Amino acid sequence: MTSTQTQPVSFADFVRQRQRDLLRFAMVLVGGDAQRAGDIVGDVLTNAYEVWDRIGAVDHPYAYVRRMIVNEYLSWRGRLRRTTLRGDLEPYIGSVADVAGEHAVRAELISRLRTLPRQQRAAVALRYFEDLPHADIADILGCNVGTARSHISRALATLRVAMTEES
């Protein structure tokens, strides 16, 4: 017989393996502000460490920590951490105006993405970057599935993206 119980992952291993994924996700959430993305992930990992005995034992620690990142992003706690002395990277914002030609579409989308309310932006990131189903998005955002769909629908309208997948 083999045990189906998952071996708890250590915090060190988790950080080593998934930090980059978390940063990429946070980067999408914050619309390309590398400084903020780094701060959010750093703060979330800080908090996660404190309760890692619990997080490390769940089936999908990444999903758990990703939810923490969404919560941090949606809360005001991250506001004060927008400026920081150490290694804060120039926001990606600066390069948007420089792109042209084939990149113009992306520049426009990024620009519009930044105008989205936080809930909508989070919903878009979870749907189109993390490829989560609506039910999971609703669970993470703490709303019902209809509301999650509504967030995405309104976001796509603002982004001027045709809802090919949603229709």
Partner 1 sequence: MHTTDELRDTLRELADAAPQTAPIPGDHDEVARSAKPSRRSSRLVRFGAPALAGAMVAGVVAGVVALSSATHRTAQPGKSSTATPRPAHLPQAGPMSLTTTVFDVVGMPGATVGGVMADGKSQRRYVSFDTFRDDSNQADVQVWAREQWTPTRPAGAQDVSIHGQPGFYGRFAVPSNGKVVALAWQYEPGAWAVVTAWNKSATKADLVRFASAVRTGQHIPARLPFKLTGLPPGGKLTALEWRLGAGRQSAGGGLTISYPGRHGVLVISVDPLSAGEFGKPTTIGGKRVWVDGRVLEIAGPGVSRAILEPTTPDYSNDIDLFSAAETESIVAGLTFAPNVKDPGTWFDATSALP
Q: Is 127 exposed, middle or buried (0-12, 13-18, 19+ CB in 10 A)?
A: buried
Show the site string, 77-116: x = touches partner 1 by CB under 8 A, - = not: --xxxxxxxxxxxxxxx-x---------xx-xxx--xx--
* DSSP state for residue 10 in the 8-state scheme: P
Cα three-residue angle 127-68-61, rounded to 5 degrees: 85
d(CA 37, CA 30): 6
- Count residues contacting partner 1 (CB under 8 A)? 67
Q: Of residues 34-63, which lie at the interface with partner 1 (CB under 8 A)?
A: 34-35, 37-39, 41-43, 45-47, 49-50
Q: Which parts of this chain interact with partner 1 (CB under 8 A)? A: 10-12, 15-16, 19-20, 22-28, 31-35, 37-39, 41-43, 45-47, 49-50, 76, 79-93, 95, 105-106, 108-110, 113-114, 118, 124-125, 128-129, 156, 159-165
